[in-house]
Structure 1
């Protein structure tokens, strides 16, 4: 087992190959290609295993994600319609 006296935040944010393969839903060959191309940085451990940089993995994972924002407002009765309009305008400004 590999131990160090100090663990930096960057070291805590490393992933095993099994986790990376599941997250990205790619084959081991594709993962190796990402490493060769420099898209994912790795650290080789003394036991021969690799730890993958989570920042690089999540950058690939979120690459094609289109983000949308959904606003939700409601009131209890029709008499409160002006309050609903105020809620909507406040949400749009946020």
Structure 2
């Protein structure tokens, strides 16, 4: 009889996150066995060896991006992050938040560079912003065109 592993043990063995295993269970990619109390258990000996990081790399993610221009606006950055988290959670999306502190005209922000790299590497399925100008003050249309070319859905919560 095979030993069943907890979700955390299975996630570590497969090199994926616990939330990824939960999502795979819900979508039928990798269905877990359940204990009488409803906990997920995995028989690692029966798992397809191709179902590891490669599968995760094929799955594109949702990125919630927040930015403010100066240190004085840090409370606003935190509010943006909270709004993004609430919105994405309400939609049922698994997501990651990237935040930046820097001018909307500065193209050398660490988070923005990471975002652009992930878009170019086809790792992003959806980009969520509180306002259009939170991405860049000028030139956001270029990033949106890049998103369109890579089939990245752009969601702007506050259009006004």
State the structure with more CA Rg.
1
Between Structure 1 and Structure 2, which shows a larger proportion of strand residues?
Answer: 2
Q: Tell me the TM-score range normalised by the shorter chain.
A: 0.3 to 0.5
- The normalised TM-score by structure 1 is 0.43
- The normalised TM-score by structure 2 is 0.28
Q: Greater relative contact order: 1 or 2 (C-alpha under 8 angstroms, separation 6 or more)? A: 1
